[in-house]
Amino acid sequence: MNDWATKGYLEPGEIKTTLPRKELLMKHLIAISECIQEIPCNPCVTVCPLKAITMKDINAIPVIDYEKCNGCGKCVGICPGLALFLIGIKNGKGIITLPYEMLPLPGKGNEVYLLNRKGERLGKGIVMRTVIVNKQTKSSLITVLCENEDDIYHIRNIEIIK
């Protein structure tokens, strides 16, 4: 079994794709993939209106053309593996859109804990937007603002502050 499968989380070195150029991240949000399991799955490819996601075959991992992506988030909302995110940089701060399947949902302006891949708290951020993508399950896309732009490479979940 792979190391990540035993641990239950990914180390940055286990992610197989490269990251977008910083200049692009400063223009608008860009989709990134942390999909590493080679299983038959491709809704991210079929949902992308700009054909920015490709795969060599149905079992391959997706490749995102960052120059084509406009950050619409459709792929993030449809991915059953919660393996896609949007990241961006604005005025030195980081912006991350992540899939969220917990309740209650945080609302715009709420302060939340920002968690890394391991579930450790890295600090606090502010919710900029909550979009429900499945009315039945309430699964959502949460967009958060973080103080440090470099956190976009580490934050992959949030925790409601009680």
Note the residues at the interface with ligand SF4 (CB under 6 A). 31, 33, 35, 41-44, 47-48, 50, 52-53, 62, 64, 69-75, 79-81, 83-84
Q: How far is the CB of 162 from ligand SF4 (least distance, A)?
A: 31
Residue 124 pairs with which residues in a beta bridge? 113
Report in angstroms the alpha-carbon separations of 61 from 34, 41, 64, 71, 114. 9, 9, 10, 19, 27
Contact present, 60 and 41 (Cβ < 8 Å):
no
155 token code pair? 């934050």
Q: How far is the CB of 145 from ligand SF4 (least distance, A)?
A: 19
The region, left, alpha or beta by phi > 0 then psi within -120 to 50, assigned to residue 149 is: alpha
Q: How far is the CB of 101 from ligand SF4 (least distance, A)?
A: 14
Q: Whose Cβ is closer to ligand SF4: residue 2's or residue 161's?
A: 2
Instruction: Provide φ and ψ at 158, rounded to 5°.
Output: -130, 165
Q: Whose Cβ is closer to ligand SF4: residue 82's or residue 160's?
A: 82
150 token code pair? 């470099």
Q: Whose Cβ is closer to ligand SF4: residue 44's or residue 146's?
A: 44
Q: How far is the CB of 153 from ligand SF4 (least distance, A)?
A: 18
Q: Whose Cβ is closer to ligand SF4: residue 18's or residue 120's?
A: 18
